[in-house]
Amino acid sequence: MKFNYNFKNIKESYLFAEVANRTETYRKANPDKKILKLGIGDVTLPLAPSVIEALHGAVDDMSRQQTFKGYGPYEGYDFLRESIREYYRSNGVELAMEEIFVSDGAKSDLGNILDIFAKENTVLVPDPVYPVYVDTNEMAGRKVIYADATDENGFLPAPDYKIDADVIYICSPNNPTGAAYTKAQLKEWVDYANAKGAVILYDAAYECFITDENLARSVFQIDGAETCAIEFCSFSKTAGFTGTRCGYTIVPKCLEHEGFNANKMWLRRQATKFNGVPYIVQKGAAAVFSERGQSEIRKNLAYYKRNAELIANSMDTLGIRYTGGKNSPYIWLKCPDGFKSWEFFDYLLSGAQVVGTPGAGFGRNGEGFFRLTAFGSEETTREAVFRIENLLKK
Amino acid sequence: MKFNYNFKNIKESYLFAEVANRTETYRKANPDKKILKLGIGDVTLPLAPSVIEALHGAVDDMSRQQTFKGYGPYEGYDFLRESIREYYRSNGVELAMEEIFVSDGAKSDLGNILDIFAKENTVLVPDPVYPVYVDTNEMAGRKVIYADATDENGFLPAPDYKIDADVIYICSPNNPTGAAYTKAQLKEWVDYANAKGAVILYDAAYECFITDENLARSVFQIDGAETCAIEFCSFSKTAGFTGTRCGYTIVPKCLEHEGFNANKMWLRRQATKFNGVPYIVQKGAAAVFSERGQSEIRKNLAYYKRNAELIANSMDTLGIRYTGGKNSPYIWLKCPDGFKSWEFFDYLLSGAQVVGTPGAGFGRNGEGFFRLTAFGSEETTREAVFRIENLLKK
């Protein structure tokens, strides 16, 4: 038996695991210090009351033989897929029901979708990048090339027709940089993908933070995307589902190539390697789309946006350059005083007991940058900002 | 961009989807007829009261900031993994905590585990077989060979040292045949795997139906399994979690080969492509192991076992040969009157409005056989047995 030797190409430790390890080591050595975490993009507000109600109702359904649910449809229950379709419609995007697949989160499907693509594809990812895009492809032995996202292009690389890419990852609003593509910029990528016969894997996990009308909330708002894009979205950030696990993946019916149909292949993949998302969770997710759910969710998003503003304002005060903070829960800052990313991580942890995420963990171009997130409690965020200002003003 | 051309090797339609399609076609043409489903292995009893209570409690946890849970550990919460460890201990198996991974079901992990193995492995599966083992490997382009499970060997093939297999699937009690390996028989497979440097992927999804002490409840009850086996188990059948989605995978720390460690690779895979099982669901699953939970679960299992007995007794009455029914929720019967599997499916559907699963859908050796499951309600099972007897006595 042979293990998958491609695992040799990926680092043993996953970025956030390394952040957790260093934090834990510091905590053990300094048990009296209170550590404030603005590192991983994890939410802190409880689930909305309408979601909680729906979850309780679904648990009750599971307690009675008449309403009990066994295996559900691989692609998710219609009651949830209908709501997702309505949501897209409100953003000007018409989807067929068969194009909507309920998932246990954007991360899972961003990795799993690779099952429908051959090993012999060149994968283009931005640098810096959410590590999952790179690691999942390296595990499968695919060639990964990078599009530089830098200060110069506002961390929003444009397509380069001299480069032949087959599978292109775009995350907008971006993790980790917080930068977001306008519809016009995204159209350039869609045109490139159609011209090259490439596919765009579009990570829209942070679309709910967009307020600017010029920015794309979905790749399918762009003409031509239906023949070249798959979109991944999540309730994690929209509705605080990081620990409740639900998302959705849109695979257009007209994404076809050499006799293969992406939509049919994905259904086949899911029917074979997945058994759907818990009924209880899908009921909770559907409540997010109710009128009351939407109003509750907007309050939560406003709360995180205020946190982002607090951090952004503090960076302004300190004269530190950053992207994000608007239309995004992330603040991507240039480390002050020539600090490298992990140096700044240790400096912030030991000096202010604030945990962020080192930009270098997201790629070569991330070196010298640092990511803070708006997902902490307001209290944590205020205290962290206060400590950071004290430390860096010195 | 190239799609995964290996999808050409797998049939477009998944077995249970085809069963569902034919059933739906019949239902539409005969809207007045009541169809009884003993096809897919889906449970019908509601979740146990202790599980329902735990689920409600967990939903409440998610409603308050102090008890809210965001991202959980990739490998599952300790409260659940501790309970799983205790459960194994009660079966005489000592596990380290790091060897226990909570999953969203045995099916998902049986497919996903392949990520840690190279494409260049020869996969040995029994024939007939749960289609997922074959389809997931064909999707990945692996060579699949078969071990004949037939009437002659009691549907329990023994290892053949003339054959070099790298990855071996064993499901015991077996789906679809209901046959189960004794500890002595399983020891032969463990010895074979260790001798060949192969790995056994052991599907223990039906272990809870075992009452006979000579049968293995876990592959880790067999000496030497810890260097050659990975085990997959599920709450689906134990506790009616088919629509609630939770299982667990045991990856021993000493399963190593050429510098690779299966346990570390699997953790890396899960950290990269999975974000854990919903906190709410894990709380429900943990309640299964409480004293009250166990007593409730045993009642449910006894209910399904009575159904199995009803079906088995009916086969005895009709003089139809079968395996399973004891230590298993499946009855695997020889189609009477020389019927082929799909012919018998149509005959039973049109003549008795009973849906079963055609043995041919599970492999070449399944032709001429048919699977019935004990997971229906008692009422459905009694009625189905009554109708089958009426139809076949004629």
pLDDT in tens, A241-284: 999 999 999 999 999 999 999 999 999 999 999 999 999 999 99
- Between residues 293 and 322 of chain B, which touch chain A (CB distance below 8 Å)? none
Looking at per-residue pLDDT, the higher value among A14 and B284 belongs to: B284
**Which residues on chain A are in Cβ contact (under 8 Å) with B237?**
none
**Which residues on chain A are in Cβ contact (under 8 Å) with B132?**
272-273
What is residue B12's predicted lDDT score, i.e. its pLDDT?
61
Selection from A200, A202, A199, A148 nearest residue A177 by Cα? A148
What is residue A41's predicted lDDT score, i.e. its pLDDT?
79
Report the percent of chain A where pLDDT is more than 70: 99
**Which residues on chain A are in Cβ contact (under 8 Å) with B258?**
2-3
What is residue A299's predicted lDDT score, i.e. its pLDDT?
96
- Between residues 331 and 370 of chain A, which touch chain B (CB distance below 8 Å)? none
Question: Please, are residues B281 and B235 in contact by the beta-carbon 8 Å criterion?
Answer: no
- Mean pLDDT, residues B321-344: 96
What is residue B192's predicted lDDT score, i.e. its pLDDT?
98
Cross-chain Cβ contact A136/B62 below 8 Å: no
Q: Nearest 5 degrees, angle CA B141-CA B147-CA B151?
A: 140
Question: Please, are residues A193 and A199 in contact by the beta-carbon 8 Å criterion?
Answer: yes
Q: How confident is the model at residue A394 (pLDDT cuts 50, 70, 90)?
A: low
Instruction: Give me the residue from A49, A242, A272 closest to B111, CB to CB.
Output: A272
State pLDDT tens for residues B39-89: 877 899 999 999 999 999 999 999 999 999 999 999 999 999 999 999 999
Does position B353 have pLDDT exceeding 60, yes or no?
yes
What is residue B15's predicted lDDT score, i.e. its pLDDT?
81
Selection from B88, B271, B372 nearest residue A131 by Cα? B271
Instruction: Give me the residue from A140, A167, A278 closest to B244, CB to CB.
Output: A278
**A302-336 per-residue burial string, b: 16 or more CB within 10 A, e: under 16:** ebbbebbebbbebbeebebebbbbbbbbbbbbbbe
Q: How far is A48 from chain B (nearest CA, A)?
A: 7
Residue A275 CA to residue A281 CA, distance in Å, equals 14
> Could you give the residue ranges of the DSSP H alpha helices within B91-220?
106-112, 131-139, 183-196
**Which residues on chain B are in Cβ contact (under 8 Å) with A55?**
59, 62, 280
Report the percent of chain B where pLDDT is more than 70: 99
Does position B394 have pLDDT exceeding 70, yes or no?
no
How many residues does the structure list for chain A?
394
Residue appearing with tokens 């399994």: B225
Q: How far is B394 from chain A (nearest CA, A)?
A: 35
Looking at per-residue pLDDT, the higher value among A393 and A226 belongs to: A226
Cross-chain Cβ contact B275/A111 below 8 Å: no
**Which residues on chain A are in Cβ contact (under 8 Å) with B264?**
12
The pair of three-digit structure tokens given for residue A202, joined into one six-digit string: 């579009």
State pLDDT tens for residues A39-83: 877 899 999 999 999 999 999 999 999 999 999 999 999 999 999
Angle between helices B341-352 and B15-29 (to 10 degrees): 30
What is residue B13's predicted lDDT score, i.e. its pLDDT?
57
What is residue B39's predicted lDDT score, i.e. its pLDDT?
87
How big, in percent rounded to 5, are the helix, strand and coil portions of chain A? 45, 15, 35
What is residue A10's predicted lDDT score, i.e. its pLDDT?
86
State pLDDT tens for residues B145-177: 999 999 999 999 999 999 999 999 999 999 999
**Which residues on chain B are in Cβ contact (under 8 Å) with A57?**
none
Cross-chain Cβ contact B63/A45 below 8 Å: no
Q: How far is A256 from chain B (nearest CA, A)?
A: 9
- Residue A127 region by backbone torsions, left for phi larger than 0, else alpha for psi between -120 and 50, else beta: beta
Residue appearing with tokens 């080591």: A25
Residue B266 CA to residue A139 CA, distance in Å, equals 12
pTM listed for this prediction: 0.95
Does position B186 have pLDDT exceeding 90, yes or no?
yes
State pLDDT tens for residues A187-223: 999 999 999 999 999 999 999 999 999 999 999 999 9
Task: Pick the residue from chain B with its C-alpha nearest to A135.
Answer: B272
What is residue A40's predicted lDDT score, i.e. its pLDDT?
79
* A45 near B CB under 8 A: yes
What is residue A252's predicted lDDT score, i.e. its pLDDT?
98
Residue appearing with tokens 């000592």: B94
What is residue A16's predicted lDDT score, i.e. its pLDDT?
81
Residue A39 CA to residue B182 CA, distance in Å, equals 51
A357: β partners: A371
DSSP code for B246: -
- Mean pLDDT, residues B331-356: 97
What is residue A300's predicted lDDT score, i.e. its pLDDT?
96
E strands within chain A?
Answer: 36-37, 100-103, 122-127, 143-148, 167-171, 199-203, 229-234, 247-250, 256-257, 260-261, 322-324, 330-334, 354-355, 357-358, 369-373
Please report the DSSP string for A280-306 in residue order. HHHHHHHHHTSHHHHHHHHHHHHHHHH
Main-chain phi, psi angles of B41, to 5 degrees: -80, 60
Q: How confident is the model at residue A183 (pLDDT cuts 50, 70, 90)?
A: very high
- In whole numbers, what is the pLDDT of chain A averaged over residues? 96
The pair of three-digit structure tokens given for residue A312, joined into one six-digit string: 């952004």
